[in-house]
Amino acid sequence: MTQKDQIDSQGFAIINNVYNENEINTLISLIDDTTQNNPENRTFRKSQDLFAIRQFHNEIPETLPFIFNQKLLDIIKTNFGENYFITKSIYFDKPEKSNWFVAYHQDLTISVNKKIEVENFENWTVKQNQFAVQPPAAILENNFTIRIHIDKTTKDNGALKVINNSHSKGILRIEKLDFGKEKETICEVQKGGIMIMKPLLFHASNKTTNNERRRVIHIEFSKQELPEGLEWSEKMVLQN
Predicted local distance difference test score (pLDDT) of residue 15: 98
In a domain, 120, yes or no: no
Mean pLDDT across 75-103: 88
Residues 201 and 89: their CA atoms lie apart, in Å, by 18
Any domain includes 189: yes
Q: Does 173 map to a domain?
A: yes
**Tally of domains in the chain:** 1
pLDDT at residue number 130: 85
Is the distance from CB of 216 to CB of 152 less than 8 angstroms?
no
pLDDT tens profile 200-218: 999 999 888 888 889 999 9
Does residue 15 sit within a domain? Answer: yes
Residue 33: which pLDDT band, with cuts at 50, 70 and 90?
Answer: confident
Q: What are the beta bridge partners of residue 189?
A: 153
- Interatomic CA distance for residues 127 and 167, integer angstroms: 26
- Determine what percent of the chain is predicted with pLDDT higher than 70: 92
* 94-103 mean pLDDT: 75
User: Does position 51 have pLDDT exceeding 60, yes or no?
Assistant: yes
34 or 147, higher pLDDT: 147
Question: Distance between CA atoms of 76 and 68, rounded to whole angstroms?
Answer: 10
Give the pLDDT confidence score for residue 181 in this predicted structure.
92
> What CA–CA distance (Å, rounded) separates 151 from 212?
9
The CATH number assigned to the domain holding 228 equals 2.60.120.620
What is the pLDDT averaged over residues 189-207? 96
For the sheet with 110-112, list strands across it: 110-112, 130-134, 122-127
| % of the chain residues with pLDDT over 90 | 74
pLDDT > 80? residue 230: yes
Average of pLDDT values for 34-58? Answer: 68
* Nearest of 184, 183, 185, 192 to residue 153 by alpha carbon: 192
Check whether 44 has a pLDDT greater than 60.
no
The mean pLDDT of the chain is 91
Q: Does residue 123 belong to any structural domain of this protein?
A: no
Q: How confident is the model at residue 49 (pLDDT cuts 50, 70, 90)?
A: very low
Domain that holds residue 13: 3-107+144-237
- Flag whether 229 is in a domain: yes
pTM of the full structure: 0.93
Instruction: Establish if 160 belongs to a structural domain.
Output: yes
Burial of 70 (0-12, 13-18, 19+ CB in 10 A): exposed
Assess if residue 124 is contained within a domain.
no
pLDDT at residue 240 in the model: 60
- pLDDT confidence of residue 179: 85
